[in-house]
Structure 1
Amino acid sequence: MAALEILAAAAAAAAIAAWAFLWVWDSSERIRNREQAGLRDDESRALLVIAHPDDEAMFFAPTVLGLGRGGHRLSLLCFSAGNYYNQGKIRKKELLQSCEVLGIPPSRVMIIDNRDFPDDPDVQWNTESVASVLLQYIQVNGISLVVTFDARGVSGHNNHIALYTAVRSLHSEGKLPKGCSVLTLQSVNVLRKYISFLDLPFSLSHTQDVLFVLTSEEVARAKRAMSCHHSQLLWFRRLYVLFSRYMRINSLHFL
């Protein structure tokens, strides 16, 4: 009897292991397909547009590393120095350090530091001003893919949303250069936001155009990038690094 119980337990364990292997294999294939969807030009010039230093690591690390993995030449345009607490000089240096960890050299990082775009959630950035600066950068640098926030800005920050509004305006008015695409980072509800890699089944089952999921080694790299932002690593952001799905998973939509 004991032998039969052992055999039954072994068979059940084998069945579970086989199911897990097939699920992981199927998931990896679906992730790979979604990474490649619409992103087949390995030599494209991609531009990540963010509002503050640390956005690139807190929200977009999977996209940055995923695009780099695919051979895309990525640049970064940051619309403020993050001077809300008068730490702008420090935060600019931290951003450059973080970008180097993520594979973006300083020569491809542009930080805008002027009064038109203050780091302030209570200030509405002028859509035309943001769009004008962005369009000029796109044209001068031959950008073929723009990546930024969606209409909810992940955290609801007005500066994040202002970037989406400007890009949306350029796209809808047909002002972007021919062949220039736009990807926006999907905002998710609070529960999904803080369940880390456990959000993967939800990300796979919900419709999106591109999905980036980091390996354990890449997660460690994303955390190193975030650790460059010493001035921002308060206790709640340390918890964010541990539990946020945005440190591991990015799902994006094409406009």
Structure 2
Amino acid sequence: MLRALAKPVQSLARIRIPRRGLRWIVRLSVLAVVVPLFLQWLVAYLVGNDARILPPQLVNAKNPLIVTAHPDDECLFFAPSILGVLDRNKGAMGGLLVMSTGNNYGKGETRTQELIESCKALGIYFQRCIAIDHPDLQDNPTRWWNTDLIENFVHEHVRKWEVDAIITFDEGGVSGHINHRAVSAAVTHYVATNPQAPVAYTLTTTSLIRKYTFLGDLPLTVLPFLWRIIEALSYPVTTADPKEGGIALIANTWHRYLATRRAFAQHGSQYSWDRYLYMIMSRYTRAGPAYKDRVPAILHHISLGQGASSHEKWMQVRQDCLDLHPDWQAFLWTDETATQLVRDHFPELQEMWEEGYKFPIQKIDALRYMVLYHYGGVILDMDLQCKRALGPLRRFEFVAPAAVPTGFSIGFMMAEARNKFVGELVGNLGRYNRNWLGLPYPTVMFSTGCHYASTIHAFQSRQDRKELKILAGTREEPRMHSLNGPVSTPLFNHLGSSSWHSYDASMIVTIGKSGGLRLPLIFVSGVLVSFFVVRRFRRRRLGGGGISSPRLKVTF
């Protein structure tokens, strides 16, 4: 017997939106459209020429160079920058250097020809529109390119075209593409290590959501420039304070946006619906470039102890650095100010810092880490004479020069305040404070010096180490940034005043240069024999003949 299933009784009520709520929805929708359009008009047409928005280093550049990874990067990411600079400076000769032909799918020749047509649409002469075709620089989304090779190509074209400004990717590569990030790493290293390198700007990488919000991203993009825009509306200027030249904002006008579309249309082999959508929705066809400095503009020098008076002869060397950074804060740490810093902000280390270090240089080294952690900025030895401004390196969270054969030097470091790695350098000082048989060199180096810092660095995860920029040399010049002894590096003249280590340092250096195993084995054997002799002597002395004594812990 079958029975019919009864239908449940359903009651549907119409959803009603209160009129007051509806009004707010309409108002917010209007604001979401009007505000970005207003900001686009404001930046593109009204204040875009102000030196506080677009620095003179870009506006007055006669030979700007855009460095990219693949054909079509120039219109997908850099078109507002290219057109914004060239349109404002009719005498400029723009250049485009592409590190590959984009031959990942065997279309290298086609894409090279498309690149030339794209350059014409952007106003770049085809003689200065170059795609490199090198076997070690082929389009590959899984391979990190040879940055030394990229540097060589950049350096070659900077000299050939007399380039006075560079625009390229930041460390995120905008899209995260590994080739983009390799180009950024190479150009950044080139600018940081070459005193004759021109000023360089990088395009800021944003989140995926911001990347595809069309004009909706403008309020967030404009926010860091808000005060500058207000000033530009009040009193326009054509020259700006050098400290304001570290960041730029360029917005496309309508005719420059159409030129961007024409340039993109030349890349027919790369046409797809998603790229077409990108041209409509992406912020990178509307505004760029900009980057945020992470390291505060502060210079720190340290003058502690009885030898502080002898540092007077280094004051002119310090002044040379201050002259290259006219708008930076400057601190000279003395015994009084350093002691106060430790007491106020690192009380847990106060006793060790004031009484627990045998050698004065240990106090100086420990103070480096505490100052950097609390304030951030750049810390320099008194005998380091600056050869160029350090501003381009402020975009990284930590920077130090590489040491040979491994690790890094601490005579020059820069970091953001409260940096995690620098915090670990401070936090491990007590753990590594050991007395190595009274020998100055190992005691200092392993407790607070370069070896200590390099050890903490080695314990960082691979991902964390990627964020810590160690300035390495090239294969031909591995000691390019080494600060060992009186040397000249791309950033500094090291006048070599270090003299705190004596016979033990010479002995260790001699061992390192011996090239054989005999001398190192003798040295190690001597240390072990000394260890056991000292230990047995102390046990007998404290044991009182045949009476057994507690086991002693020998502290190194």
TM-score bracket, shorter-length normalisation = 0.7 to 0.9
Which residue pairs with 1:240 in the alignment?
Answer: 278
Aligned-residue offset at 1:22: 8.2
Asked if 1:200 is matched to 2:218, the reply is yes
For residue 212 of structure 1, give the secondary structure of its aligned residue in structure 2: coil
**2:105 equivalent to 1:81:** no
1:112 aligned residue (125, 129, 132): 132
* Contiguous gaps of at least 5 residues in structure 2: 1-30, 226-245, 292-390, 393-556
Residues 139 and 177 in structure 1, CA contact (< 8 A), matched pair in contact too: no
Aligned to 2:148, what secondary structure does the other structure show? helix
1:217 is aligned, of 255, 258, 265, to 255
Q: Decide which moves more: 207-216 or 148-157.
A: 207-216
C-alpha distance 40-50 of structure 1, shift in aligned 2 (>3 A): closer
Letter aligned with residue 71 of structure 2: P
- SS of equivalent to 1:129: helix
In 1, are the aligned partners of 2:115 and 2:267 still within 8 Å (CA)? yes
Query: SS in structure 2 opposite 1:131?
Result: helix
Deviation at 1:119, TM superposition (A): 0.2
Give the Cα separation in 2 of the matches to 1:59 and 1:238: 14
Question: Residue 32 in 1 paired to residue 32 in 2?
Answer: no
Please say if 1:177 is aligned against 2:215: no
Higher relative contact order (CA 8 A, sep 6+): 1
2:268 is matched with 230
Residues 26 and 68 of structure 1: CA distance in aligned 2, closer, same or farther (over 3 Å): closer
1:44 aligns with 2:62: yes
* Residue identity matched to 2:264: M
Counterpart residue identity of residue 74, structure 2: E
* The structure with more helix, counted as a fraction of residues: 1
Note closer, same or farther for the CA distance 1:114–1:242 as it changes in structure 2 (3 Å cut): same
Whole-Å Cα distance in 2 between the matches of residues 25 and 160 of structure 1? 31
TM-score, normalising length: structure 1: 0.85
Mapped to 1, the partners of 2:98 and 2:173 lie a distance apart of 15
Look up the equivalent residue of 1:203 and give its one-letter code: T
Distance of 1:229 and 1:22 partners within structure 2:
32
Could you say which residue in structure 2 is the equivalent of 1:98?
A: 118
Query: For residues 96-175 of structure 1, what are the structure 2 equivalents within 5 Å?
Result: 96-173=116-193, 175=194
Q: Could you tell me how far 1:82 is from its partner in structure 2?
A: 0.4
Letter in 1 for 2:72: D
AA partner of residue 152 (structure 1): G
Cα distance in 1 for residues equivalent to 2:40 and 2:77: 24
Q: Could you tell me how far 1:251 is from its partner in structure 2?
A: 2.7
Change (3 A) 1:51 1:176: farther
Residues 40 and 172 from structure 1, CA distance in 2 versus in 1: closer, same or farther, beyond 3 angstroms?
A: closer
Equivalent pair of 2:39/2:219 in contact (CA under 8 Å)? no
2:82 pairs with 64, 75, 90, which one?
Answer: 64
1:124, 1:162 within 8 Å by CA — same for their partners in 2? yes
Aligned counterparts of 1:23 and 1:155: Cα–Cα separation in 2? 25
Would the aligned equivalents of 2:101 and 2:108 in 1 still touch at CA under 8 Å?
yes
Change (3 A) 1:32 1:114: same
Q: In the alignment, residue 236 of structure 1 is paired with which amino acid?
A: D
8 Å contact 2:57–2:199 — kept in the other structure? no
Amino acid at match of 1:149: F
Opposite residue 223 of structure 1, the aligned amino acid is: R
Q: In 2, distance between residues paired with 1:216 and 1:41?
A: 20
* SS in structure 1 of the partner of residue 103 of structure 2: coil
Report which of the two structures shows the higher radius of gyration computed on alpha carbons.
2
Q: How many residues get paired?
A: 237
Distance, in Å, in 2 between the alignment partners of 1:181 and 1:195 is 30
Deviation at 1:30, TM superposition (A): 4.5
Identity %: 32
Shift of 1:201: 1.4
2:149 & 2:218 partners in 1: Cα distance?
37
User: What RMSD over aligned residues (CA atoms) do the two structures have, in Å?
Assistant: 2.4
TM-score (norm 2): 0.40
Residue number in structure 1 paired with 2:13: none
